[in-house]
Amino acid sequence: MAVQALRVGVVGVGMMGADHAERIERRIAGASLVAVSDPDEDRAADLAGRFDGVRAIADPLALVADDQVDAVIIASPGFVHEEQVLACLDHGKPVLCEKPLTMDSDSSLRLVEAEARGGRPLVQVGFMRRFDPEYVQLKRAVDSGAIGRLLLVHNTHRNKDVPQGFRSEMIVRDSMVHEVDVARFLFDEEIAEITVLSPTPTGAQPEGVVDPQVALFTMAGGAIVTSELFVKNQVGYEVRCEAVGERGSVIAGANWSGLYSTGNGEGGGSWGGSIPADFRVRFERAYDLEVQAWVDASRRGEVVGPTSWDGYAATVVCTAGMESLAKGQPVTVELPQRPVAP
């Protein structure tokens, strides 16, 4: 595997999976796309036909088991992730699984435990913001002490639109999951409590859908994280993060070029820019860097990005967040001891 190109199969070829297929074939070094799979067999065949030598395999588990596939990207719906990731673990194949790892805490923990029993890390979860150049700079500024001890983080996450049927709890589980990982990434600690608030909803959503939402995370060390989720703002895709320390602040993703900071460790930026239409534009570079890192690590037999435990921890927080949304009160987040390989 370390000599030849990593032969990659993609499971799920909707918007995200098709984007990854193009990425592997066009922009990633050391990897080649060899197979795709999707319940919509015509869509899979159409995508496979764009590239030389790529097969469409109807059964995703058959793709995972195929001897010509070294590693797998899973971009299918979350409710089939457990079965598909378990298949990758059973066959000893590295897997990049798009978020959420699974739909609930119990199934995510089963994956963590199965990977630990195998004795070899194989799972990377698709929290691509950890690879975004601005978020990397933000993390570096926090870790360097340039803004002093981190006290607050403010996240904004707005989508222009979402598919019909995107319910209130999906805003927590499928959108806010990124903010959960950002908080854990920046603080290097767990979220201890979550409260999800319900402002007056937008008239653009069907009755009963709570959009926007505002989540408050209390970190294990006492810091506070605020996260605004607005998935049908009808304007564009806006994602930004401000880290506030004792001696300054750092903002990633604001509507100016580069990273803006009031701290001593990073430079400022110039005003300007545009609001992208969707996540593929905003985080194109992050996805490229994420997949390249996954390919390079897989060829070395390592995992360098967010782990199955990171995916599980995020699922636990989001499950608590859905409970908070339903009850209208804070919910404590409880994580078990992390399983270790025998």
Contacts of 340 (CB under 8 A, 6+ apart): 116
Bridge partners, residue 155, by sequence: 227, 241
pLDDT by residue (tens digit) across 157-191?
999 999 999 999 999 999 999 999 999 999 999 99
Has residue 115 got a pLDDT over 50?
yes
pLDDT at residue 269 in the model: 33
Give me the phi and psi of 276, to 5 degrees please.
Answer: -70, 160
pLDDT at residue 260 in the model: 53
Give me the phi and psi of 172, to 5 degrees please.
Answer: -70, -55
Question: Where would I find the H helices in 272-336?
Answer: 279-282, 284-300, 308-327
Kindly state the percentage of the chain with pLDDT values over 90.
Answer: 87
Q: Are 127 and 181 in contact (CB under 8 A)?
A: yes
Which residue in 269, 142, 159, 240 sits closest to 205, CA to CA? Answer: 159
- Residue ranges of domains in the chain, CATH in brackets: 6-126+287-305 (3.40.50.720), 129-283+316-331 (3.30.360.10)
Give me the phi and psi of 248, to 5 degrees please.
Answer: 155, -175
* Cα R_g (the chain), whole angstroms: 20
pLDDT by residue (tens digit) across 241-281?
999 999 999 999 876 555 555 554 444 333 345 677 778 77
DSSP string, 193-213: EEEEE--PPPTTSPTT---SE
